[in-house]
Amino acid sequence: MSKRALLLINRRAGRGARALAQAVESLHDLDFDLVTAPIKNAEQIAARIQHYGPQLDLVIVGGGDGTLNAAVDSLVQYQLPLGILPLGTANDLARTLSIPTSTPEACRMIAAGHTKRIDLGWVNGKHFFNVASLGLSVQITESLSRGTKRRWGALAYALKAFQLFGQTRAFHAEIRSQGVAVPVKTIQIAIGNGRYYGGGMAVTDDAAIDDQRLDLYSLELQHWWQVFPLLWRLPRGQQRLLPWVRVLHSHEIEIVTPKSCRINTDGELTVSTPARFRVMPHALTVYVPRPGLA
């Protein structure tokens, strides 16, 4: 029996406009009963899922991490499995799950039917897949244009981070977890659920999206030269080796700041401090390659 799938393609994502016809053709050939709802922006995604949700077997989302972030709360609400067509700039969730970047290959992977349950992060009522952060990453999100991301791809995040490092002012925060409160002065706090973020950087070198924990790091630089070893360690998830980087692993974390700070979840500005973070174990089903085929 064919599965009834809602296909949502963000035409503003990196390869979204070109991928729609290709995805429709591939999925029809694979015998999906397809509901096609092209969208002009990620804000339309939740409404589409809520409209069709009770009629569906799964939802297939084509876009980047921001597009997927817009879908996640509704997917949890209706407990619908997620198929991913990586069409964005960074595609960090697809990288974490080893999902092929070719649209026809990703469609065939979904049709093969192999799934896994993954954890989700949660902050102030908003679910996220990869990372939630405040500080430098918010400035990067605010300053990166769509044109820059299309021109430079995932490298755009690293270039913008390097440009902003010298301009970023440290802020005060209190990190609370497991009954301990630690005051910090930092340029960025990141709390990861998955493995990759920011175009392929690792949250920590042993992070996994089903390890039922959150991984926090806080960049507490005091001298300009500390940027250079950080630029070497951060992409590899080895920031814990630097004495000016605080790391923490926990199921629940609270961040309090003197003034409200915006929080970036999967590349989108969604909530603000004070913030409570939790890991939601095995909260969502996602289609992934069969073991040994990734």
Lowest average pLDDT, out of 28-42, 177-191, 250-264, 266-280, goes to 28-42
Q: Which pLDDT does position 51 carry in this prediction?
A: 92
Query: How far apart (Å, rounded) are the C-alpha atoms in residues 128 and 148?
Result: 24
Chain-centre distance for alpha carbon 205: 17
Q: Which pLDDT does position 227 carry in this prediction?
A: 73
Answer yes or no: are the C-beta atoms of 239 and 83 closer than 8 Å. Answer: no
Note the pLDDT tens digit of each residue in 94-143: 999 999 999 999 999 999 999 999 999 999 999 999 999 998 867 665 55
| Structure-block tokens of residue 183 | 């005051």
Quick one: fold of 4-113? Rossmann fold (3.40.50)
- pTM equals 0.87
Chain-centre distance for alpha carbon 77: 18
Note the pLDDT tens digit of each residue in 60-94: 999 889 899 999 999 999 999 999 999 987 899 99
* DSSP string across 201-217: EESSTT--TTSS-EEEE
Domain ranges of the chain: 4-113, 126-281
Answer yes or no: are the C-beta atoms of 144 and 209 closer than 8 Å. Answer: no
Compute φ and ψ for 202, nearest 5 degrees: -95, 135
Note the pLDDT tens digit of each residue in 4-47: 999 998 776 556 567 888 999 999 999 999 998 768 777 889 99
| Degrees, nearest 5: CA angle 198-203-209 | 100
Residue 204: CA count within 13 A, CB half-sphere = 23
CB-based contacts of 218, cutoff 8 Å, min separation 6 = 173, 175, 184, 186, 188, 189, 190, 245, 246, 247
How many other C-beta atoms lie within 10 A of the C-beta of residue 292?
5
Considering the domain delimited by 126-281, tell me its CATH architecture.
Sandwich (2.60)
SS3 224: helix
Of 106, 83, 65, 70, the closest CA to residue 199 belongs to 65
Strands, DSSP E only, in 235-292? 245-250, 252-256, 262-265, 268-272, 275-287
